[in-house]
Amino acid sequence: MEDVSLSLDDLARQSGIGTRVIRDYIARGLLPGSQGRGRAAGYSSSHLERLLAIQALRARGRGLADIQQVLERASNDEIAELARGARAIGTDALRPSSALDYLDSMKSALPAPARSFAPAMAPPPPSPLKPMPLSTAEALANLAEHLRAIAGYQPRPRARSAEWVRVAVNQNLEIAARGPLDTPGRLALERVADAIRALTEPENEGKTGTA
């Protein structure tokens, strides 16, 4: 018979999930209630594994109804695998960082403020990467290479909110990538802008922009 010596507080401590949330999961049927009776009642290691599996799925953005379906279909081995994944990351990593950590990360990640939050139609900065005159085919290949670089750049999931980093191509055209971007990311974005300029100048004069 499985050892049921974990209390609710033990579960909370070892999983990193608050007791109120654990009770909520039990009420929803995501987690079985305590086993045993009276003073012998408690939770087992399989409760802890299931809790960690729920955390791992929540960290991937899955909703509770979705998670319930996943767990109903999953074998014990699959639940254990999810729990192992959660342990490997660490329960702290499954929670968002603290507000203080976020503020500190802003300070280190922000490039010079004027460039991060420049007005949409700021004139393009002088670029050390301005390409030599290219044929159209070479310019297109160049653009494709830089677009692949910026499209594949961000290792994180897409940001939840709509912060965009914008680079002006000319007075009528700008490009934007979902931020935040650090320095290599901004560099890749500016290379894309350079490549578009190489393709479009001087034919772009006189065309209306997309306001």
Which of residues 63 and 155 has its CB atom nearest to another protein in the complex? 63
* Smallest distance from another protein to CB 96, Å: 6
Stretch that binds another protein, among 33-41, 126-134, 152-160, 188-196 (CB under 8 A): 152-160
Helix/strand/coil (H/E/C) assignment for every residue in the chain: CCCCCECHHHHHHHHCCCHHHHHHHHHHCCCCCCECCHHHCEECHHHHHHHHHHHHHHHCCCCHHHHHHHHHHCCHHHHHHHHHHHHHHCHHHHCCCCHHHHHHHHHHHCCCHHHHCCCCCCCCCCCCCCCCCCCHHHHHHHHHHHHHHHHCCCCCCCCCCCCEEEEECCCCCEEEEECCCCHHHHHHHHHHHHHHHHHHCCCCCCCCCCC
Which of residues 189 and 198 has its CB atom nearest to another protein in the complex? 189
From 6, 11, 15, 17, residue interacting with another protein (rule: CB under 8 A): 17
From 155, 157, 202, 206, residue interacting with another protein (rule: CB under 8 A): 157
* Smallest distance from another protein to CB 94, Å: 11
Stretch that binds another protein, among 2-10, 80-88, 111-119, 147-155 (CB under 8 A): 111-119
Q: Which residues bind another protein (CB under 8 A)?
A: 17-18, 20-21, 24, 28, 61, 63-65, 95-100, 102-103, 106, 113, 116-117, 157-164, 179
